[in-house]
């Protein structure tokens, strides 16, 4: 499917233009239900592009501000749960699925999770789904007692002496 103006304003094929995206969404988000502007903006939020991405995917990938993401989620809250080709949710893109760099602010991430609270981190091998998957940089490594592994025993104890 072709892209729309909101995809382009959110960074499809170019740098994002947040004032333009805000303009496309701003008046519509505050319009009365059933108004033409609200219906037009909702249509912009529900259309997918050639990658299967919604405008929210592009906004999350490019670190959109709250003033853009908020109206998108008001107009189309199901977008937070929409998987693009490859299985990416907007949350994955906001958390840097492609390059490992967190793109979105904590407030935007909270808005996406709030719209779709069933979102969990991906499963990692050997870990149950939803277990903490990012260790804070300030957290020390887990302590080791040294009793369960021969590596930590004194050399004399390992040699049987």
What is the per-residue pLDDT for 29?
57
**Rounded to an integer, what is the distance from CA 104 to the centroid of its chain?**
8
Domain boundaries, the chain: 5-122
- pLDDT tens profile 17-74: 999 999 888 765 555 555 678 888 888 999 999 889 999 999 999 999 999 999 999 9
Non-local CB neighbours of 39 within 8 Å, separated by 6+ positions: none
Distance from C-alpha of 130 to C-alpha of 81, rounded to nearest angstrom: 16
Architecture of the 5-122 domain: Alpha Horseshoe (1.25)
- pLDDT tens profile 102-134: 889 999 999 999 888 776 555 445 545 554 444
Distance from C-alpha of 7 to C-alpha of 112, rounded to nearest angstrom: 18
pTM exceeds 0.85, yes or no: no
Task: Check residue 131 and report its DSSP letter.
Answer: S
What is the per-residue pLDDT for 36?
75
The radius of gyration computed from the CA coordinates of the chain, to the nearest angstrom, equals: 22
- pLDDT tens profile 128-160: 555 444 444 454 555 555 454 444 445 555 555
């Amino acid at each position: 499917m072709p892209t729309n103006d909101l995809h382009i304003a959110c960074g499809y094929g170019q740098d994002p233009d947040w004032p333009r995206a805000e303009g496309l969404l701003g008046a519509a988000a505050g319009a009365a239900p059933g108004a033409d502007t609200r219906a037009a903006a909702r249509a912009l939020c529900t259309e997918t592009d050639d990658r299967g991405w919604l405008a929210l995917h592009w906004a999350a990938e490019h670190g959109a501000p709250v003033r853009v993401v908020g109206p998108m989620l008001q107009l189309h809250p199901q977008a937070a749960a929409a998987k693009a080709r490859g299985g990416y949710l907007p949350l994955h893109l906001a958390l840097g699925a492609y390059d490992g760099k967190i793109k979105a602010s904590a407030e935007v991430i909270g808005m996406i999770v709030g719209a779709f609270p069933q979102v969990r981190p991906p499963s990692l091998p050997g870990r149950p789904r939803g277990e903490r998957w990012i260790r804070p940089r300030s957290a020390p490594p887990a302590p080791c007692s040294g009793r369960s592994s021969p590596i930590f025993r004194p050399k004399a104890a390992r040699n049987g002496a």
